[in-house]
Each structure stands twice: as C-alpha cells, then as structure tokens.
Structure 1
Amino acid sequence: MSGSQISTSGTRILKVLKALKGHTLTGLSNGEIAKILNESPVNITRSLQTLIEEGLVIKLENGSFAHSIQMLQIAQAHAMHLNQIHKKIIDINQEIMNDAS
C-alpha cells in the first residue's frame, strides 16, 4: 500500500492507542501523549475523542487517559485464544508421544 492511501488521522489514532500501553491504571495526559508522539495536543484530543467514542479509551478520574475495559477484553480474548491453541498443541504432542511408545 502506498503512503498516499494511508489515513493520517487513522494512523494517529492507532499511535495514541499504542502509546497508552503500560499505563492502564495511571493513564497518560493529553500533553504526555502529544510529547511521546511529537503531535499537537489538539490532534491528540481529536484522536482521544474518537477512541473514547468507540469505547477503546476512557478518561480516568485524574484526567488522564487509559485503555478501556473493552480494550482490555480484546487483549484478554487474544490471550485466551493463544492459550487454547497452546493446549491443543500440547494435546497433539501428547498423542504423538503415546502412539510412538
């Protein structure tokens, strides 16, 4: 895909979502996110508004922003899926070992 086909606002929104990684409990302020991403606070505000509207980010009581429960549920579902696949691989390997004996 060429660069001209990429949405700059969409890219910024995703970068904001990634910048919040590791700050689930304490969050980051608009200014902190802007500094991390070298973006204007106005653009970060727009991105945060979109993420909040979509349920992926929340504003904490301290005024900072963090991943929402919905975002954490997505991460948890991914982890559970990987765990199921891992268990299936273990079961298959166990069958192979039992049949080899």
Structure 2
Amino acid sequence: MSKTQASGKGSRVLQVLKALRGHTITGLSNKDLADALGCSPATITRDMADLIDAGLVVKLDNGRFAHSIAMLQIAQAHAEHVAKLQDRITEINRRIVAGAMN
C-alpha cells in the first residue's frame, strides 16, 4: 500500500467519524455513509470494520453504525478538561479583579 493510499484511507476514516456526529442513538447506514463520503458501500464496510476493531465505532441493533462508548468517553474527557481549565481561568480572573480593587 502506498503512502497516498494510506493517507486517503486515513482521511476517509476521519470523515466517517465526523459524519457519525449527531447520530449516536440512531446511527447511520452503510449507504448513508457511502453517499455522504462519495465512495462505495464496500469501502465503507472495510472502514467500519477497522473502526470497530479500533473500538471507536459500534454496529447498532438496527444495523446502522454509531460512535462507540469509548469514542464518547474521549469526547467526555475533553469536555471535562475544558471545564476544569475554564474554572481555573475564572478563578485567575477573579483574583485579578480582586487585586485591582486593592
């Protein structure tokens, strides 16, 4: 496999993850994803197998695909990290304002 093919596949897999955004409960079908990405359903099938093996996607009972719990945990960890940093920034700003009043 050439570097170009690997890069193309990597890019497509990232596009799949983005396409699944907002479809965590109902998922998207193989055809939905193929249409959205402009590739064949067979290509999506191979990509989904890779994403499932990586633990980032699951196949739902309805046959559609969605982000896995592990993927959602990554998003949740990011949100918690941002919230923690925002709390720290708020505290620093509070101290700055308090110091300006002295």
| TM-superposed deviation, 1:7 | 0.9
Distance 2:9 2:49 in 1: 12
TM-score by length of 2: 0.92
Identity rate of aligned residues, in percent?
55
For residue 75 of structure 1, report the CA deviation from its aligned partner: 0.4
Aligned to 1:69: 69
Unaligned runs of at least 5 residues, structure 1 = none
**Secondary structure at the residue paired with 1:7?**
helix
Q: Distance in 1 between matches of 2:11 and 2:94?
A: 44
The Cα of 1:4 is off from its aligned counterpart by 4.7
Query: Equivalents in 2 of 1:5, 1:48: separation in Å?
Result: 17
Deviation, structure 1 residue 5:
8.7
2:91 maps to 91
Query: Cα RMSD between the aligned structures?
Result: 1.5
Task: Summarize the Cα distance change of 1:32–1:5 in structure 2 as closer, same or farther, 3 Å threshold.
Answer: closer
Structure 2: distance between partners of 1:13 and 1:82: 26
Which stretches of structure 1, 4 residues or more, deviate above 6 A after TM superposition? none
Q: Distance in 2 between matches of 1:77 and 1:88?
A: 17
TM-score normalised per structure 1: 0.93
CA distance in 1, matches of 2:68, 2:37: 20
Q: Alignment partner of 1:87: what SS?
A: helix
Give the superposition deviation at 1:12: 1.1
